[in-house]
Amino acid sequence: MAMHNPPHPGGIVKRQCLEPLGLTVTRAAAGLGVTRQALSEFGTTGSPNPSFGPDARRGTRVTAPT
C-alpha cells in the first residue's frame, strides 16, 4: 500500500529530537559535529548535506529488520 502523505524527515527530527530536548538547530549541529546550515538544510529538504559524511544517505533510509 503506497503512502500518500509520508512524514517529512526534517519534521520528525524537529518534533522528536530538537523540541523535547530544548535544542536549537545551532546547538544540535554543534553536538553532531556538522554545520548549522547542513542541519537546517536537512530540516527543510530531508536530504543529508555531504558534510554528514559518505554514509549519510544510507542512514536516512528505513529498512525492515531481517
Residue 22 has pLDDT above 60, yes or no: yes
pLDDT tens track for 27-43: 999 998 888 988 888 87
- Which pLDDT belongs to residue 52? 58
Which candidate, 56, 55, 43, 52, places its Cα nearest to that of 12?
Answer: 43
pTM: 0.59
- Which pLDDT belongs to residue 12? 86
Residue 34 in contact with residue 45, Cβ under 8 Å? Answer: no
Residue with cell 503512502: 3
pLDDT tens track for 52-62: 555 555 554 54
